């Protein structure tokens, strides 16, 4: 257990060494996937875990959905690069009392989900232990004619957009809660990246506020969000607003995490030709990228109210323990 220091400090420790990586590392640590050049081909790689008690609660979740999420969580990272998956491997730490039949259900679900996205399970490892169920999935992907979209290309003047609706992915519903049943936006990302020049993209796993800040950090810019434009999962509400001018639904949309939608930026001219929906999924303009304030090392996210007043938003989104 590395505590809350975890993801941010540990990752920045890793990033410090990026400059020393060999030339075949085309996209270094710090993005949704890394990319290696192998001869004249590029291979993208991501790894993610689903642990009982952290990313799922096995006590009230069918194993089929646990297995599904272990795969789709990774495929959301593939979508974030506008790449196509090519295969996956899984390392499973199974609780001693899981039993053969349940282990089979779990693996059948992972295999079926992976195959549905043309991402066959091609290997893995299992062990039995006294800890919680933990599935560690590595997915490989390829650009297949689309330049991967990273977190580092956002430019001042870019429009910030999101797919789908945000917030409450754990709150609404038990076995069909959005964090279990979401569709990785692979086809949508490919469609967007083929018709427009996307400057940056990330999938929304940690919450819009945190994930957009990741884009800003990697791109050395700041961002503004027009809070009234955020596509909240439950739509408009009439709650009182907090000190940031946020309704409860807007705060959920900013901070909850596990939406597994996409946030991307592109220049205003390209944004003008964005459709309102792609395959039924809403595409919403929620703000803009602005130049980093002089003298500031850390990215700033500003929330802009309908009356034009704005303030910096420091509350972080979801960070997994």
In the block, residue with structure tokens 């439950």: 234
CB closer to Mg ion, 93 vs 204: 204
CB closer to Mg ion, 107 vs 257: 257
Give min distance, CB of 228 to Mg ion, in A: 27
CB closer to Mg ion, 203 vs 258: 203
Give min distance, CB of 80 to Mg ion, in A: 5
Contact (Cβ atoms closer than 8 angstroms) between residue 140 and residue 45: yes
Distance CA 181, CA 2 (A): 29
Closest-by-Cβ residue to Mg ion is 32
Paired sense of beta strands 281-291 and 200-203, if any:
unpaired
For residue 302, the number of C-alpha atoms closer than 13 Å in the C-beta half-sphere is 17
CB closer to Mg ion, 107 vs 148: 148
Contact (Cβ atoms closer than 8 angstroms) between residue 32 and residue 21: no
Specify burial of residue 191 (Cβ count, 10 A radius: 0-12, 13-18, 19+): middle
Contact (Cβ atoms closer than 8 angstroms) between residue 302 and residue 227: no
For residue 86, the number of C-alpha atoms closer than 13 Å in the C-beta half-sphere is 10
Give min distance, CB of 307 to Mg ion, in A: 34
Give min distance, CB of 161 to Mg ion, in A: 17
CB closer to Mg ion, 151 vs 246: 151
Q: What are phi and psi of 215, to 5 degrees?
A: -60, -45
Query: Tokens representing 310?
Result: 């704005």
In the complex, which residues of this chain contact Mg ion (CB under 5 A)?
32, 77, 203, 205
Give min distance, CB of 49 to Mg ion, in A: 13
Give min distance, CB of 95 to Mg ion, in A: 27
CB closer to Mg ion, 113 vs 205: 205
């Amino acid at each position: 257990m590395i505590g809350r220091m975890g993801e941010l400090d540990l990752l920045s420790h890793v990033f410090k060494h990026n400059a020393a990586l060999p030339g075949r590392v085309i996209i270094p640590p710090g993005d949704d996937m890394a990319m290696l050049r192998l001869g004249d081909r590029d291979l993208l790689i991501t790894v993610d875990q689903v642990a009982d008690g952290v990313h799922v609660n096995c006590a009230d979740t069918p194993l089929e959905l646990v297995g599904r999420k272990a795969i789709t969580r990774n495929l959301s990272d593939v979508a974030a690069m506008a790449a196509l998956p090519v295969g996956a491997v899984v390392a499973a730490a199974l609780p001693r009392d899981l039993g053969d039949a349940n282990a089979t259900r779990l693996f059948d679900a992972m295999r079926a989900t992976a195959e549905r996205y043309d991402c066959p399970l091609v290997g893995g490892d299992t062990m039995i232990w006294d800890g919680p169920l933990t599935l560690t999935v590595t997915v490989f992907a390829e650009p297949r004619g689309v330049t991967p979209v990273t977190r580092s290309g956002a430019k001042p003047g870019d429009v910030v957009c999101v797919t789908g609706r945000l917030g409450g992915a754990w709150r609404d519903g038990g076995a069909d809660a959005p964090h279990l049943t979401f569709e990785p936006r692979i086809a949508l990302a490919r469609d967007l990246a083929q018709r427009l020049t996307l400057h940056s993209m990330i999938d929304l796993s940690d919450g819009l506020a945190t994930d957009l800040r990741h884009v800003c950090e990697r791109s050395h810019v700041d961002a503004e969000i027009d809070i009234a434009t955020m596509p909240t999962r439950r739509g408009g509400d009439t709650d009182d607003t907090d000190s940031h001018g946020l309704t409860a639904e807007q705060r959920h949309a900013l901070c909850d995490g596990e939406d597994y939608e996409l946030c991307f930026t592109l220049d205003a001219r390209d944004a003008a030709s964005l459709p309102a929906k792609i395959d039924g999924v809403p595409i919403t303009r929620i703000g803009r990228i602005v130049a980093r304030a002089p003298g500031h090392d850390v990215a700033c996210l500003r929330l802009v109210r309908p009356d034009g007043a704005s303030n910096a938003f420091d509350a972080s989104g979801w960070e997994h323990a």
